[in-house]
Amino acid sequence: MIESILPAAVAAAECFGDAPGATLYPEERAALGETGEARRLEFTTVRHCARRALGALGLPPAPLLPGVRGAPRWPSGVVGSMTHCKGYRAAAVALRSGIRTLGVDAEPHKPLMEGMLEHIALPGERSCLAELVREHPDVCWDRLLFCAKEAVYKAWFPLTQLWLGFDGARVILSPDGTFHARILAPLPPTPAPPMVFEGRWLADHRLLLACAIEPPVV
């Protein structure tokens, strides 16, 4: 499912549940520490997906440890992103030579909890959502905005190592399955800081998926 919103240079793998035979490297087990069964399963299965995706790029399996602020540490020369939600796990990877950064996010296709939209949407984003809801009431646009913003954060963080709040980017969703994100937060003083992300999204009856990429999806 997730492949359909990714450019050809990105390899992905997904599971609609947990992979019974999936295992962790000892250093991944140590990094995970003591935790509940649900967390252990999602952490393990998403890494199983990530190793399948790395294999599709012709790369060997490797430990994938959480790094700064939880961002995964990918093998040298690789960029990627992982996501999990109830009944779904996915990982997407690419060679850094082809894609500078990417972020993926999955959410249940349900409206956000009461009161949450005010925390994650800028006033202009809320007006755009109102119009989208009127024209396409079958999509939970509020949750999709949240999903797209989390995908943007997962693409932004590995490049900048900086926090980005929900007011730190303006996301414009289009009914054609694309979105556009512009960073509003102060940019880091690095060469070519990421200012814009292009994205694609997908909704089915159960799930929302979003992917944010720089350079733009072609």
Ligand X SMILES: CC(C)(COP(=O)(O)OP(=O)(O)OC[C@H]1O[C@@H](n2cnc3c(N)ncnc32)[C@H](O)[C@@H]1OP(=O)(O)O)[C@@H](O)C(=O)NCCC(=O)NCCS
Footprint on this chain of ligand X (rule: CB under 6 A): 43, 46, 66, 69-72, 81-84, 105, 149-150, 152-154, 157-158, 164-166, 168-169
Rounded least distance, CB 63 to ligand X, Å: 12
Rounded least distance, CB 138 to ligand X, Å: 23
Quick one: 135 or 204, whose CB is closer to ligand X?
204
Cα distances (Å, whole numbers) of residue 95 to 74, 145, 153: 10, 27, 19
Rounded least distance, CB 193 to ligand X, Å: 15
Quick one: 142 or 150, whose CB is closer to ligand X?
150
Cis preceding linkage at 158, omega within 30: no
Rounded least distance, CB 37 to ligand X, Å: 14
Quick one: 134 or 194, whose CB is closer to ligand X?
194
Q: Which residue is nearest to ligand X (CB)?
A: 70
Quick one: 153 or 179, whose CB is closer to ligand X?
153
Rounded least distance, CB 81 to ligand X, Å: 6
Quick one: 141 or 153, whose CB is closer to ligand X?
153
Quick one: 90 or 132, whose CB is closer to ligand X?
90
Three-state SS letters, the chain: CHHHHCCCCCEEEEECCCCCCCCCCHHHHHHHCCCCHHHHHHHHHHHHHHHHHHHHCCCCCCCCCECHHHCECCCCCEEEEEEEECCEEEEEEEECCCCCEEEEEEEECCCCCCCCHHHHCCHHHHHHHHHHHHHCCCCCHHHHHHHHHHHHHHHHHHHHCCCCCCCCEEEEECCCCEEEEEECCCCCCCCCCCCEEEEEEEECCCEEEEEEEECCCC
Rounded least distance, CB 19 to ligand X, Å: 14
